[in-house]
Chain A
Amino acid sequence: MSALGSAPRPALETAAMVRAGELSAVEVLEHHLATIEAHEDDVRAFTLVTPDEARTQARAVDAAVAKGEDPGPLAGVPIALKDNLCTRGLPTTCSSRILDGWRPPYDATVVTRLAAAGAVSVGKTNMDEFAMGSSTETSAIGPTRNPHDLTRVPGGSSGGSAAAVAAGFAPLALGSDTGGSIRQPAALCGVVGLKPTYGTVSRYGLVAFASSLDQIGPFAGTVADAALLFDVIGGHDPLDSTSLNRPTPRVLSVLDEGVDGMTIGVLAEYLDGVDPDVAARVHQAAEALAAAGARIEEISVPEVALGLSAYYLIAPGEASSNLARYDGVRYGLRVDAEDTAGMNTATRSAGFGAEVKRRIMLGTYVLSAGYMDAYYNQALKVRTKIIEGFDRAYAQCDLLLGPTTPTTAFALGAKTEDPLTMYLSDVCTIPTNLAGHPAISVPFGTGDDGLPIGVQLLGPALAEGDLLRGAAVVEAAAPPMAPPALTASLRGGSQENREGVS
């Protein structure tokens, strides 16, 4: 593996080489394990690294190739899994103390599909506790750091997955996106993050935060790799009743088709109040799309401004019910007390962090008799309005364009004292979840502070094909971005390691 010192090899290329017998899965894995070994102490992307299990998987891939079998489209590609995806026999913590010691007896559907496609899971990634947060700082084991600047947050809640890809720990990762938890950290860490259409990727085995909004999706270094991963994990699953029973768009094969003839709307509301350097990158991306033949229009969907408020009623409402099961009776943490109700209270008081408690209380309140109509049901009406607003826009446009986040990565600790400020970092991503639509964040240069900026493409339900075509055009026109400073500075230090696996 002579090329390991330079840019990381895309998953697409790695899989092709492994399938062709030109590269062994074990070699690929050892390189990534070495990178993890070298930088994980600084980045803290993982809740758990699983080298032994990974080596077993990698050897199985190599054995299959040796026997002339095809291990699948992700043959030998290392992947990191957000720690809210159930992995049989391996701890699944959601970065919460309340799941201490729990090992799921089953694999999430996506985990099964990854294994069947030949992927090699290197570990579970850190996250905001139960995916509630935008910085990975609510994790019970402490924050993940942004590989581009260790004093900054990686975003969240899937910050560990975004950082893992950015730091070269794995070319691919899975995250979950309830209000922006894939796209926002992807933008802040300078990687690609796709939130697919609700129902295209099975939620079976994804520990629920807000079931009507949660959706699993890929992180990757490139748009093509994200497409490759989406094609593997997508598709109907009888174990998830909300899984769409119709053909899921296959996206890898249409990537090169360009945007000629598409109409792409620049979403005015998403540019309100964002940092000027971020807005400038969005306009620059629009120009690139125009240059590739798309018609660019400015478009307004005023309803999206209501998204944040509606989201913080709907998501906590569902979460208050989804998280009720952590009661100390069957699994995870149990703090003993005089009686059952006391044990429930003691367990939940000790097991949940402040942000999770805040949302459970908020959610319990908005579903309570006498308040439900004013809050939760009102929010559901707003949700319908937002869908109608998007429908109007998509009658005119094929895709929408905007920033992923209003700012680049903020400093660790900067927003932890003020939840409302923290919530605002998801203002441009939340409406997509409320609508159940797909959206993708693509790295597009850096801001005035030298940190990555992501631009976001949004599409109507099941428009992943168009979305990825647009993303490919944006990616091709993206201004250069330096590799993470951390990795660059530490690259020398880990040279021996690197050569050891080359």
Chain B
Amino acid sequence: MSTEWTMVIGLEVHCELKTATKLFCGCPNAFGDEPNTNVCPNCLGLPGSLPVLNQRAVELAMAIGTALHCDIRPSTFHRKNYFYPDQAKDYQISQYDEPLNVDGYLDLPDGFRVGIERAHMEEDTGKTTHAGSSGRIHGADYSLVDYNRSGVPLVEIVSAPDIRTSDQARAYVTELRAVLVASGASDGKMEEGSMRVDANVSVRRGADAPFGTRCEIKNLNSVRSLGRAIEYEAQRQITLIESGESVVQQTRHWDESAGRTSALRSKEDAYDYRYFLEPDLVPLVPDAEWIQAVSDTLGMMPAERRARLAQLLTEAGGPSEAQVDQITTVVDLGLDDLVVEAVAAGVGTALALARTANEAATDAEAARVLDPKAYAELLTLEAQGSLSATQAKAVLADLLAAGGGDPAAIARDKGFEAMSEDSLAATVAEAVQTNPDEWSRFCEGDDKLAGFFTGLVMKATKGQANGKAVAAELRRLRG
């Protein structure tokens, strides 16, 4: 009896580097400008022009290598030769057999480790728009080329074929994106094409069988497309094999609206790129000092940031499953500094995490620029019982909307005065007296009724009572 089908997935991620200028010339590296305005003899491939390597691009590429735990090696550039109208020189300058970064890894939030084979530098092409019904170069009425993107610096990150499910693939791209953003190398905007993913997919029976024949899927414009395309492609291959046919090594195009892949070209008509050493450039040999300087300026990576938050929960026996999700959300959104600051100010980690993952996260953009001290102050007011949870959330919403402020002052303006103990006790006592049956069942040990009484008190105080204080008063009355 055959064992179950499993997938083998390797991902190639192209990432545009966030430099001010292009890889080999001084033209602006900008998205969305008027076509063919950010161009010069070099990125138009005019005769006689020569490439000059952008040192900042090298630094960002090394930052990616460092963040992915790669070896940074002496490297060279090659020419990849093929004719295409968006290719200004009809060759692309790319690193080939001696890439800058090799042999790294990326740890996913669940601890799964994906190997990184290489992360090399290359230049982007221009952008072609084909007019006509086909939308492709074949059968186009005419084609327009915008060379603004020609020569934009890219790093191509090639994973090992370590990924086994579409969920892992999605988690890998999500995590990689976070690393690229955290390293300052890229804005990671898939929708603007500054991060593009190709997936190599094959299937096999069981986890130990040799790899099957793979297909490369292009045109994956979102993490969602990636997951769908992998699932579709794996099923296509399984169906082929089960019907007695075999998978042909191909490059395939993902059609998002049709939800399927179609053949672009097979291995036989693959281009012969005639790679050879780019004679217009000299080898790129970063010295130890330069590599160290890049490493020194590199901020904390998402994995470290998650570990830092988990560390805060050590005494509580480590994060619960829900808290693992909260930690991931908070780090993904770049809000972990808020949590750390609040905890340092004396707020409990669980409260700080929950408020940040659930409330601050609803407007992450505003939360990222919030003064962490003000945020910590607000959570302190809540932790001390000066503000109820409902009140604290309302104050936070105002803080985010206004881009900052004094939490205590906002609370005062809203009329959120903490209830005095006497007033609270009176309200609780009234609730108890008007519901004698429920009270006796509570006294007999039906703890669920605590919620019932708390609800009544909250209703009576319009949410101003502190839930914890109400619970404490109920316990006191029960004796």
Q: Which of A101-109, A184-192, A296-304, A407-415 lies at the interface with chain B?
A: A101-109
Q: Does B120 make an interface contact (CB < 8 A)?
A: no
Known: A324-B91, A330-B88. A86 touches B276 (CB 8 A): no
A324 near B90: Cβ-Cβ < 8 Å: yes
Closest 9 interchain pairs by CB?
Answer: A324-B90, A367-B274, A212-B279, A211-B279, A207-B47, A205-B48, A86-B48, A325-B45, A207-B48
Instruction: Assess A321 versus B88: contact at CB under 8 Å? Given A241-B50, A344-B83.
Output: no
Measured between alpha carbons, how far is A238 from B50 in the docked complex, in Å? 10
Q: For residue A376, which residues in chain B have a CB less than 8 angstroms away from its CB?
A: 276
Q: With A and B bound together, what is the CA distance between A241 and B281 in angstroms?
A: 6
Tell me whether A208 and B48 are in contact in the complex, defined as CB-CB below 8 angstroms, given that A318-B279, A367-B276 are known contacts. Answer: yes
Q: Name A's B-contacting residues (CB within 8 A).
A: 84-86, 92, 94, 99, 102, 104-106, 108, 203-208, 210-212, 238-242, 317-318, 320-321, 324-325, 327, 329-331, 339-341, 344, 364, 367-369, 372, 376
Indicate if the CB atoms of B88 and A242 lie closer than 8 Å. no
* Docked pose: A400 CA to B144 CA in angstroms: 55
Contacts A212-B279, A368-B274 given; does A329 touch B145 at CB 8 Å: yes
Q: Which residue, A84, A105, A327, A368, has most C-beta atoms of chain B within 10 A?
A: A327
Known A106-B41, A240-B50; judge A317-B145 contact (CB<8 A): no
Contacts of B91 in A (CB 8 A): 321, 324
Contact A327 B48 (CB under 8 A): no
B279→A325 contact, CB < 8 A = no
For residue B333, CB closer than 8 A to chain A, the reply is: no
B143: CB under 8 A from chain A?
Answer: yes
A384 nearest CB across to chain B (Å): 13
Out of A92, A210, A239, A330, which one reaches B52, CB within 8 Å? A239
Q: Which of B48, B52, B140, B279 contacts A206 (CB 8 A)?
A: B48
Grouping DSSP codes into helix (H, G, I), strand (E, B) and loop, the B interface class, with mixed when no group exceeds half, is loop
Provide the residues of chain B in CB contact with A92, threshold 8 Å. 47-48
Are A329 and B85 in touch, CB under 8 angstroms?
Answer: yes
Using a CB-CB cutoff of 8 Å, which residues 77-91 of chain B contact chain A? 79, 81, 83, 85, 88-91
How long is the Cα–Cα vector from A112 to B245 in the complex, in angstroms? 65
Residue from B41, B44, B90 having most chain A Cβ neighbours under 10 A: B90
Instruction: From B48, B88, B272, name the one whose CB has the most chain A CB atoms within 10 angstroms.
Output: B48
Give B446-464 as 1s and 0s: 1 = Cβ < 8 Å from A's Cβ atoms: 0000000000000000000
B103 to chain A, nearest CB (A): 26
B137 within 8 A of A: yes
Instruction: Give me 13 A-to-B residue pairs in the complex whose CB atoms sit less than 8 angstroms apart, sorted by A's number.
Output: A86-B48, A105-B46, A204-B50, A212-B279, A241-B50, A320-B81, A321-B276, A324-B91, A325-B90, A330-B45, A368-B274, A369-B272, A369-B274
A104 adjacent to B137 (CB under 8 Å):
no
Which residues of B are found within 8 Å of A207, using beta-carbon distances? Answer: 47-48
Q: Which B42-71 residues sit within 8 Å CB-CB of chain A?
A: 44-53
Complex CA–CA separation, A240 to B46 (angstroms):
15
Q: Is B241 an interface residue (CB 8 A)?
A: no
In the assembled complex, B282 has its CB within 8 A of some CB on chain A:
yes
Interface residues of B in 108-167 (CB under 8 A from A): 137-138, 140, 143, 145
Q: Is B48's CB under 8 angstroms from A239's CB?
A: no
Given contacts A241-B280, A331-B46, A368-B272, 4 further A-B pairs with CB under 8 A are: A92-B47, A330-B44, A372-B274, A376-B276
Residues of B with C-beta under 8 A to A239: 50, 52
Tell me if B79 and A321 are in contact (CB < 8 A).
yes
* Known pairs A324-B81, A324-B83, A325-B89; A105 contacts B50 (CB<8 A): no
User: Measured between alpha carbons, how far is A320 from B50 in the docked complex, in Å?
Assistant: 17
Interface residue tally for chain B (C-beta within 8 Å): 31
Residues of A with C-beta under 8 A to B143? 340
Note all chain A residues with C-beta closer than 8 A to B137: 339-340
User: Is A327's CB under 8 angstroms from B83's CB?
Assistant: yes
Docked pose: A367 CA to B81 CA in angstroms: 10
Interface pair B89/A211, CB less than 8 Å apart? no
Which residues from chain B contact A211 at a C-beta distance below 8 Å?
279-280
**Contacting pair B52 A238 (CB below 8 A):** yes
Cβ-defined contact, A241 with B48, below 8 A:
no
Q: Which residues of A contact B279 (CB under 8 A)?
A: 210-212, 242, 318
The interface residues of chain B lying within 8 Å CB-to-CB of A369 are 272, 274
Q: Which of B46, B137, B145 has the most CB of A within 10 A?
A: B46
Q: Which residue of chain B has the shortest Cβ distance to A202 in the bound complex?
A: B50
- The complex places the Cα of A313 from the Cα of B5 at a distance, in Å, of 50
Q: How far is the CA of A106 from the CA of B26 in the complex (A)?
A: 15
Known A105-B41, A211-B280, A238-B52; judge A325-B47 contact (CB<8 A). Answer: yes
Tell me the bound Cα distance from A211 to B48 in angstroms: 10
Contact between chains at B41 and A241 (CB < 8 Å): no
Residue of B nearest to A376 (CB): B276
User: Which of B47, B79, B280 has the most chain A CB atoms inside 10 A of its CB?
Assistant: B47
Q: Is the CB–CB distance between B53 and A241 below 8 Å?
A: yes
CA distance A262 to B39 in the complex (A): 52
Select from chain A the residue with minimum beta-carbon distance to B77: A241
Question: What separation, in Å, do the CA atoms of A329 and B36 have in the docked complex?
Answer: 14
A340 surroundings in chain B (CB, below 8 A): 85, 137, 140, 143
* Complex interface: chain B residues within 8 A of A203 (CB): 50
Question: Which chain B residue lies CB-closest to A199?
Answer: B282
A365 → chain B closest CB, angstroms:
10
Q: Are B88 and A325 in contact (CB under 8 A)?
A: yes
For the complex, give the distance between the alpha carbons of A102 and B143 in Å: 22
Asked whether, in the complex, the Cβ of A241 is within 8 Å of the Cβ of B276, the reply is no
A220 to chain B: closest CB distance in Å? 24
Is A242 within 8 A of B280, CB to CB?
A: yes
Residue on A nearest B278 in the bound complex, by CB: A211
Closest Cβ of chain A to B144, distance in Å, is 11
Cα A340 to Cα B89 with chains together (Å): 16
Q: How far is the CB of A235 from chain B (nearest CB, A)?
A: 16
Contact B79 A86 (CB under 8 A): no
The answer for the CA separation of A210 and B280 in the assembled complex, in Å, is: 10
Closest Cβ neighbor of A92 among chain B residues: B47
Residues of B within 8 A of A330 (CB): 44-46, 88
Question: CB distance A108 to B276 under 8 Å?
Answer: no
Which of chain B's residues have a CB closer than 8 A to the CB of A318? 276, 279
Distance in angstroms from B83 CB to nearest chain A CB is 6
CA distance A106 to B47 in the complex (A): 10
Given contacts A106-B41, A239-B52, A329-B85, A364 and B274 within 8 Å (CB-CB): yes
Which residues of chain A have C-beta atoms less than 8 A from B138's C-beta?
339
The answer to whether A327 touches B85, judged by C-beta atoms less than 8 angstroms apart, is: yes
Rounded to whole Å, the gap between the CB of B6 and the closest CB of chain A is 33
Docked-complex contact A104 and B41, CB < 8 angstroms: yes
Which chain B positions have C-beta within 8 A of A204?
48-50
Contact B276 A341 (CB under 8 A): no
Complex interface residues of chain B between 363 and 409 (CB less than 8 A to chain A): none
Closest A-chain residue to B270, C-beta based?
Answer: A369
Partner of A321, one of B48, B50, B81, B282: B81
Q: Is the CB of A241 within 8 A of B282?
A: yes
Chain B residues with CB under 8 Å of A329's CB are 85, 145
